[in-house]
Copies of this chain bind each other. A is one copy, B any other.
Amino acid sequence: MQERYIDKNMPALISDLQKLIRQPSVSAKNLGLEECARLLVQMMKKSGIRVEILRLGKGVPPAVYGEVISKKNTSKTLLFYNHYDVQPEEPLELWNDPPFSGRMRGNKIYGRGSADDKGELVTRIKAVEAFLKTTGDVPCNIKFLVEGEEEIGSTHVEQYLEKYQKKLSCDGVIWEFGYVDEKDRPIISLGMKGLLYVELSIRESIRDAHSSLAVLIENPAWRLVEALGTLRDSNGKILIKDWYREVDKFTREELGMIAREPFDEKSFKKEYGITRFLGKKKGIDIRRAVVGDPTCNIAGFSSGWEGPGAKTVLPSSALVKIDFRLVPKMDPLKQLSRLEKHLKYKGFGDVKVHMIHGEAASRTKISDPFVRMVKSAADESFGKSIISVSSAGTGPMHSFARVLKAPCISVGSTYIYARIHSPNEFARVDLLKKTTKCMCKIIKKFGA
């Protein structure tokens, strides 16, 4: 019944998604957030959802809360977590259409946010609408939490969760994203990595000097190069003492799951133009690394003259930005203090460490019944689905699991090469439709 409703109402889903895309909402620029939240409120109301704007205080973007209480008097509640903010649209010159056009070309809808996360959001709203318009009820209680700061690190989501803990209480969370692979199989991801993002900086002298003085004045870029050289080996293994201390080995069940995860090496290599993987990884090692390897990545390095040609300067300072991905049981603050100790011990006590962001990893247990349920809904909707022990990315899943004490699962409509965060981001209409139907199945099974 809901399926037929969805088939018939795809034009409305598409035009709602286009409306959302056409309202820019770039959190990094604090652009259009209030407007987008208001637009979303209207849209959700039209679908029959009771909506409320949540606020923390001045300067914090609002969160949109939605609710439909089932008439069945069930106590089971499903929470959809999404975000209405998007990444900055730059670089503009690489877009084929204006970034906020929402232009449809064949099976694709283009625009910033088309996939991440406005596309995901409409599939969930429309699934709830399908129940309400066809049966006048939902099989379980439904809640929505749609925040406006996901693309800048979900700065306040933990505060929202704590302030509105009771209102948001639930038995399962459908996470904001979900990828679909090259063979149209949804990847049901059960976890997210953590993150420790730091700046290491060093200042050697009070001003840039003529580089002929390099015989006498220590060069801060050299000092940073030397310090960095102690952090990691050429295969990516982190050399900081006790870095991996709390990390659990994969269970036999997880290993089995990882062995069954597909990974198309050829298309990945083609997508990024590389000829081999870090540390010459092959086969199952690639999938194990994606799910479970902590990383130490140089996200930026800046020192001295970066313009064209030759300037013979000895820089006074140097800065490197590093993001460490963490896995479960690694505490960001503990890892930070290990990093600081390491630098001191290695003779780099003059390197200043500044933490920008810290977030713990989280994984929902494979044995949780919620996992089996979501997988069977996805299998029915897509023919086949894949379970991934953890995504390689980071999000505030740990906060949800801690505050709401509910299992969190990612499942959604985003094609893995949909260029999210990049120019020409798109959503595929066929996947939006299948995913909306899949959400209906999840709601139904959850309420059963």
Contacts and interface: CB of A to CB of B under 8 A. Distances in A.
Given A226-B229, A274-B217, A310-B356, A212 B303 contact: no
Interface residues of A, number: 71
Interface stretch (A53-61, A103-111, A318-326, A429-437): A318-326
Contacts of A425: none
Interface string A134-155: 0000000000000000000100
Contacts of A298: 219, 221-222, 225, 303-304, 315
A164 interface: no
| Chain A residues touching B, majority SS | mixed
A272 B209 contact: yes
A293 B216 CA distance: 10
Interface in A174-213: 193, 195, 197, 204-207, 209-213
A112 to B, nearest CB: 16
A357 B310 contact: yes
Nearest to A221: B298
23 contacts: A205-B273, A207-B422, A213-B272, A213-B392, A214-B325, A216-B268, A216-B278, A216-B281, A216-B286, A218-B278, A219-B278, A225-B229, A298-B304, A299-B313, A300-B303, A300-B304, A300-B305, A300-B311, A300-B313, A301-B302, A305-B321, A311-B321, A312-B394
**What are the 5 closest A-B residue pairs judged by CB atoms, nearest first?**
A206-B273, A212-B392, A300-B304, A214-B297, A221-B298
